[in-house]
Structure 1
Amino acid sequence: MTPSLSPAASPATPASNTHWRVISAVSLAHFLNDLMQSLILAIYPLLKGNYALSFAQIGLLTLTYQCTASLLQPLVGIVTDRKPQPYVMVLGMASTLCGLLLLSQATQFGWLLAAAALVGTGSSIFHPESSRVVRLAAGGQKGLAQSVFQVGGNSGTATGPLLAMLLILPYGQGSLAWVACLTLVAMLVLWQVGHWYRAELAHAARRASTPVANPLSPAQTRKTLAVLMALVVTKYTYMACLHSYFTFYLIERFALPTADAQLYLFAFLLAVASGTLLGGPLGDRIGRRRVIWFSIFGSAPFALALPYVGLTATLLLVVLIGLILSSAFSAILVYAQELLPQRIGTISGLFFGLAFGVAGLAAALLGQLADHYGLQAVYQWCAWLPLAGIVAALLPELRKR
């Protein structure tokens, strides 16, 4: 039984307080949502064997999922900025459920693409409004709250390969249907969150509030958003290289069994979850600009060394890369929300959508390159991407303003 979030009690609570029960509930839903979605990537070796897929087709699967997960998110954010929808997150989870059930029974590549599209659509609906709920419940700890929300998703993504290794790979594609039932838990949790959110919106509509002014001029805001988007492109292109093809890289270069390669991927994704949890509170304490700068640019030495080391050093380096590089997104998202505080849904949808879209396009492109030049060459080329983090020097320090 999911505990009630007691929406009636929320209006009596000071607005400055952090509602950790709400944030924890949304983070749990994020965990289950991203766990379900990560299973698509985690069972790539199974799908590749069952359907004789090329790397290009694997990239197309990722592109389909990531594009549907990205293109709708800004639109959802714009709509919910105008009229928030307390229960729309439940609808998103239902789309994910349908996609996984279809994936468990798919027999042709076209059905695999349709299933990936449904799962991506669920992500598009879930993320913008859930991010708004987290910010609404955050009180004065926006960075920490956003990190707790993000670490739920990253932990789910990290658990996907482990669950695939223990359940999906031994019992086959059809076992996805049983795992998909976990989305029903997420739907129940989000229904309870919707009750709290609806009551909070009603309370906010009754109390007089002064709109928060934008901290920068329109021209400065556009320039700063462009820099943030460039950093997201750099980060998620490199993350797509690791996330989508790391198991294949280990199998090809070190002749690891698939199950062992999944464990290495799990270690990387667990480091990503840990880094995400650190990025938000560090941004609250020392400033988000510093966190963004260190996160992208600071991972460059490890990324450059990765293609040239042995198996043990590879594990150490990918853990360091995941830990450092993942601390950026919470800081980037909260920084962008502070630029346009009246457009929380739009900003959340834009940056979540950009992250998913870039990852999908990068996975498709990198798959094509891997087919022609080999994965080791692709890893050598992508190692230079984190150096682009130097553009973070162009970000203004909002705390001083």
Structure 2
Amino acid sequence: MSTSNASHKISNPVYPIMFAISVCHLFNDSLQSVIPAMFPVLEKEIGLTFTQLGLISFMLNIVASVLQPVVGFISDKKPMPYALPLGMISSFFGMAGLAFAPQYWVILVSVIFLGLGSAVFHPEGSRVSYMAAGSKRGLSQSIYQVGGNSGQALAPLISAFILVPLGQKGAALFLIVAAAGIFLLSKISKWYKKQLEEEKFSKRKKAILSSLPVLSKKQIGIALSLLMIIIFARSFYVTNMTNFYIFHLMKNYSLTIKEGQLLIFIFLALGAVGTFFGGPMADRLGRRNVILLSMAVPIPLCLILPYVPIWAVVLLLIVIGFFLMLSFSVTVVYAQELVPSKIGTMAGLTVGLAFGMGAIGAVVIGILMDHVGVYTTMIVVSTLPLIGLVAIALPKDRKVTTNQ
């Protein structure tokens, strides 16, 4: 397993594939974003409680959460190039059901199909990003994740400009997005399959230039546990902002749905920007340093957010969104370098856990809001980033050197 051989093997990034899988990630996550975007519409038109809305989000995210590591584990043993378009087909059917669902239970079944599509896409999409990365793993993962975060950032705009004026049936417009995703993923799958065939010919060289020192199994286990805690804190907070912060803005600042959703768009859009910069920053400054920076900077801002006037809310959302999501792609790469033989599993575990924590967070926050009110819930949630300070205990990494 020659290091020079390995570094030569990974020195050429494939930028067209990096950007293509990022666009597909945008398609996939914009479909997922239709769900929280519908919450104000469903709450008004159907009269759903916050708990019922939380359960819709729970069904979507728990399916994605539970199945992502499973898909990643299976694809580590037997890669599945054509699973990508098949996953998008599942999302297509889920979106069709969501747009025309006459009853609450049909909405729940529809989001299961969307969750299944997401569960297949994320670990396989992350694998494609990894295969195309060459020596630019941080950059490649950032390009891939910024597509997804941009799709999530569209949720408030989808709500304000499509679902509020058109209602539930407006979701049918996103069948076009799903169809475009199926087409593009079919093309990517051909490249993916060709890469696998070439790896077979070259005896499947899988060496990695890790930025981490040699760690024992116990140290790896502890580091993964700390990453899970960080993902828990971040996902709970972002779920609150995406799904429920709109109700705080409407109730305490008397904003309309459209005005409130535009503020949430600012938060998510800056999160997408932070996601993009996080990977290249981690390549230069170290993964652990960027993860710690991402969790430490937002703490005081999150704590004061529930109390400030509306003009300050805008400024705080910009800074919180940027820094909180700075570590999103970095946590995936860090986990993959902790267990380099399980690329798909680690991607499925980290991103899947983010979905799972979001699922549980949606239910917990919905129940809290029904029982103690919107404002008190926002104050409780504002303390979550404090938990992310466990990043201090992560093993330090060093800059990776590669031959160019």
* TM interval, short-chain normalised: over 0.9
Q: Output one character per residue of 1:6-51: Cα deviation in whole Å (capped at 9) or x when no partner.
A: xxxxxxx964111010010000000011111101101111111121
Task: Note if 1:63 corresponds to 2:51.
Answer: no
Q: Output one character per residue of 1:272-326: Cα deviation in whole Å (capped at 9) or x when no partner.
A: 1011011100000110000000101211010011011011111111121110000
Aligned to 2:4: none
Deviating more after overlay: 75-84 vs 201-210: 201-210
**Which letter does structure 2 place at the counterpart of 1:60?**
L
Offset at 1:178?
A: 2.4
Q: Output one character per residue of 1:138-166: Cα deviation in whole Å (capped at 9) or x when no partner.
A: 01110111011011011111123213322
Task: Note if 1:44 corresponds to 2:39.
Answer: yes
SS in 2 for 1:48: helix
Are 1:150 and 1:330, in contact at CA under 8 Å, matched by a contact in 2? Answer: yes
Aligned to 1:388: 387
SS in 2 for 1:327: helix
Could you tell me which of 127, 150, 156 is aligned with 2:151? 156
Are 1:95 and 1:121, in contact at CA under 8 Å, matched by a contact in 2? Answer: yes
TM (norm. structure 1) is 0.94
Q: Percent identity?
A: 39
Offset at 1:169?
A: 1.6
**Unpaired segments of 5 or more residues in structure 1?**
1-12
Q: Output one character per residue of 1:71-127: Cα deviation in whole Å (capped at 9) or x when no partner.
A: 100110010000001110111111111111001111111111111111111100100
Task: Note if 1:143 corresponds to 2:138.
Answer: yes
Aligned counterparts of 1:211 and 1:143: Cα–Cα separation in 2:
17
Aligned to 1:104: 99
**In the superposition, relative to structure 1, how do residues 174 and 207 fare at CA in structure 2: closer, same or farther (>3 Å)?**
same
Offset at 1:168?
A: 2.1
Aligned counterparts of 1:69 and 1:188: Cα–Cα separation in 2:
22
Task: Note if 1:21 corresponds to 2:20.
Answer: no
**Unpaired segments of 5 or more residues in structure 2?**
1-7
Could you tell me which of 186, 190, 198 is aligned with 2:193? 198
Aligned counterparts of 1:87 and 1:319: Cα–Cα separation in 2:
38
Q: Output one character per residue of 1:224-245: Cα deviation in whole Å (capped at 9) or x when no partner.
A: 1011111111111111111111
Aligned to 2:162: 167
Aligned counterparts of 1:160 and 1:378: Cα–Cα separation in 2:
22
Task: Note if 1:184 corresponds to 2:179.
Answer: yes
Aligned to 1:287: 286
Task: Note if 1:315 corresponds to 2:310.
Answer: no
TM (norm. structure 2) is 0.94
Are 1:215 and 1:339, in contact at CA under 8 Å, matched by a contact in 2? Answer: no
Equivalent residue runs for 1:245-324 within 5 Å = 245-324=244-323
Aligned to 2:226: 227
Aligned counterparts of 1:304 and 1:46: Cα–Cα separation in 2:
29
**In the superposition, relative to structure 1, how do residues 210 and 242 fare at CA in structure 2: closer, same or farther (>3 Å)?**
closer
Are 1:55 and 1:370, in contact at CA under 8 Å, matched by a contact in 2? Answer: yes
Deviating more after overlay: 171-180 vs 131-140: 171-180
Task: Note if 1:122 corresponds to 2:117.
Answer: yes
Offset at 1:389?
A: 2.0
Aligned counterparts of 2:313 and 2:294: Cα–Cα separation in 1:
19
SS in 2 for 1:399: coil
